[in-house]
């Protein structure tokens, strides 16, 4: 049949090949067109038969799966390779992805997993070659006759030192609100292992940040268009990898390049950032023009947020870089902490507050429709987020002085401890 996904199975063990073939025999849209027992044979058959997908074992005598993948990717670029391996070591996986593999399966795997991987990789293919390319050069808000000089976009990291504070909720709704105002906005799920954005926006990670890992320096608008997706709010979304293990194939360098590139194409880049301060998270925070720091009205949150402010100071972030937003804001009950108390305790102005409204938040996330655009858009919680979004747009787009980024250039990959330690050394401590 014309629409079939044509698969080549490569493994040195005939028994494994047979098992894999059996797992696929009842899938009406998948056709196993051949089997190869060595890397050399795989390269030969790939050239001859041009399968859509190759299921490639890594450990084989002669040229192994990685070597074969490399040759195939070069000579038959239309073929998509899925690596099969008993190892799930990230370095191994990264090498496989560098060699051009699109996905991997850890042996032993079941039929469902195999079929899902094949369909996912196959679905991804047309997207990579024919995705709608956005007109990045047009700046909204300029009159047509004005020459368009695109200023750099604004990178906003939504961060909280502890999970569960509401970063994802805030990031998604801020991003959608900005997009609905006609701002060219992209939301990046920076929670690479367990990102929630796809669920909350009801989108599938057919393409994801993991697709960056094998593209080296060729990061350009076309690539970004091909791996990001467009939500119906007109928001561009770059999802986290579909599976947690894949997070490790995205390097700090990938992230830096990505963000730098996105700044050329979007007015706003909103990153839903994880709490754990890994080098990747630090890279995002360093590069951010603003950090929306999410706090809540309780002592544990105050303590952690206060520590983050100390850290921000140690990292020499300018004070105005961090915007304090109180989420799940409640009016003070009895001896509770008021929003005003939060600002006082942290000695910072409150940039915005988002009221507590579990029913609306839960309903929106269950439906996969952000509350600022669905039937909840007139609720107090939505209006509060829209207000913050408007404030952000006004402040950052209307010619306010940008926060300087002078520090981060010299601070590469030292980790938090190394960076703080170095700074003390430099200070003679």
Ligand X SMILES: Nc1ncnc2c1ncn2[C@@H]1O[C@H](COP(=O)(O)OP(=O)(O)O)[C@@H](O)[C@H]1O
- Report the C-alpha gap between 355 and 163 in whole angstroms: 18
Locus of tokens 């009406």: 28
If DSSP codes are grouped into helix, strand and coil, which group holds residue 216? coil
Kindly state the smallest distance separating residue 364's Cβ from ligand X, in Å.
Answer: 8
Q: Which tokens sit at 391?
A: 């404030």
Q: Does 356 help bind ligand X (rule: CB under 6 A)? A: yes
Q: Does 331 help bind ligand X (rule: CB under 6 A)? A: no
| Residue of 157, 212, 291, 354 that binds ligand X (CB under 6 A) | 354
Kindly state the smallest distance separating residue 159's Cβ from Mg ion, in Å.
Answer: 10
Partner touching 60 among Mg ion, ligand X, none, CB below 5 to 8 Å by kind: none
Partner touching 226 among Mg ion, ligand X, none, CB below 5 to 8 Å by kind: none
Segment holding 159, helix H or strand E: strand 154-159
Q: Does 366 help bind ligand X (rule: CB under 6 A)? A: no
Partner touching 327 among Mg ion, ligand X, none, CB below 5 to 8 Å by kind: ligand X
Kindly state the smallest distance separating residue 231's Cβ from ligand X, in Å.
Answer: 17
Locus of tokens 């098992």: 19
Site for ligand X in 151-210 (CB under 6 A): 160, 163-169, 196
Asked if 341 and 305 touch (Cβ cutoff 8 Å), the reply is no
Partner touching 156 among Mg ion, ligand X, none, CB below 5 to 8 Å by kind: none
CB nearer ligand X, residue 291 or residue 381: 381
Nearest Cα neighbor of 80 from 44, 98, 54, 49 is: 54
Kindly state the smallest distance separating residue 274's Cβ from ligand X, in Å.
Answer: 8
Q: Which tokens sit at 134?
A: 């956005």
Kindly state the smallest distance separating residue 189's Cβ from ligand X, in Å.
Answer: 10
Given strand 101-106, what is the order of strands in its sheet?
A: 30-36, 5-10, 53-57, 80-85, 101-106
E-state strands within 11-70: 30-36, 53-57
With CB under 6 A as the rule, give the number of residues binding ligand X.
19
CB nearer ligand X, residue 25 or residue 366: 366
| Residue of 328, 348, 376, 379 that binds ligand X (CB under 6 A) | 328
| Residue of 72, 118, 247, 361 that binds ligand X (CB under 6 A) | 361
Asked if 301 and 328 touch (Cβ cutoff 8 Å), the reply is no
- Report the C-alpha gap between 181 and 265 in whole angstroms: 17
CA-based R_g, the chain, Å: 24
* Cβ-based neighbours of 110, under 8 Å, separated by 6 or more: 23
CB nearer Mg ion, residue 167 or residue 371: 167
Residues of the shown chain interacting with ligand X in the complex, contacts defined by CB under 6 A: 160, 163-169, 196, 327-328, 354, 356-358, 361-362, 365, 381
């Amino acid at each position: 049949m014309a629409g079939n996904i044509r698969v080549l199975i490569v493994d040195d063990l005939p028994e494994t090949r047979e098992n894999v073939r059996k797992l696929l025999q009842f899938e009406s849209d998948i056709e196993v067109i051949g089997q190869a027992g060595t890397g050399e044979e795989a390269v030969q058959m790939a050239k001859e038969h041009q399968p859509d997908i190759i299921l490639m074992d890594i450990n084989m005598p002669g040229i192994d799966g990685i070597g074969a993948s490399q040759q195939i990717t070069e000579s038959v670029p239309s073929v998509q390779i899925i690596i099969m391996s008993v190892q799930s070591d990230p370095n191994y996986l990264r090498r496989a992805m560098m060699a051009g593999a699109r996905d991997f399966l850890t042996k032993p795997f079941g039929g469902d997993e195999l079929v899902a991987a094949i369909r996912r990789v196959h679905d991804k293919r047309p997207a990579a070659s024919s995705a709608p390319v956005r007109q990045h050069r047009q700046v909204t808000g300029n009159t047509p006759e004005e020459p368009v000089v695109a200023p750099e976009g604004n990178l906003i990291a939504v961060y909280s030192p502890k999970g569960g504070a509401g970063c994802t909720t805030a990031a998604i709704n801020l991003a959608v609100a900005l997009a609905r105002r006609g701002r060219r906005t992209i939301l990046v799920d920076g929670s690479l292992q367990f990102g929630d954005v796809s669920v909350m926006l009801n989108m599938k990670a057919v393409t994801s940040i993991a697709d960056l890992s094998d593209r080296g320096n060729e990061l350009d608008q076309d690539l970004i268009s091909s791996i990001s997706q467009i939500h119906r709010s007109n928001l561009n979304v770059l999802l986290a990898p579909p599976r947690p293990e894949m997070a490790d194939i995205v390097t700090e360098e990938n992230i830096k390049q990505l963000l730098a590139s996105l700044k050329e194409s979007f007015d706003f880049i909103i990153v839903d950032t994880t709490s754990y301060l890994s080098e990747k998270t630090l890279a995002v925070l360093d590069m951010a023009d603003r950090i929306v720091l999410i706090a809540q009205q309780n002592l544990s949150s105050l303590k952690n947020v206060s520590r983050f402010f100390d850290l921000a100071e140690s990292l020499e972030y300018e004070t105005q870089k961090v915007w304090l937003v109180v989420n799940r804001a409640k009016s003070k009950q009895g001896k509770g902490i008021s929003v005003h108390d939060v600002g006082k305790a942290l000695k910072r102005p409150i940039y915005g507050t988002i009221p507590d409204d579990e029913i609306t938040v839960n309903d929106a996330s269950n439906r996969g429709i952000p509350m600022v655009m669905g039937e909840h858009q007139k609720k107090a919680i939505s209006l509060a987020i829209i207000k913050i979004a408007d404030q952000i747009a006004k402040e950052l787009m209307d010619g306010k002085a940008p926060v300087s980024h002078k520090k981060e250039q010299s601070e590469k990959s030292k980790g938090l401890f190394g960076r703080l330690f170095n700074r003390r050394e430099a200070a003679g401590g």
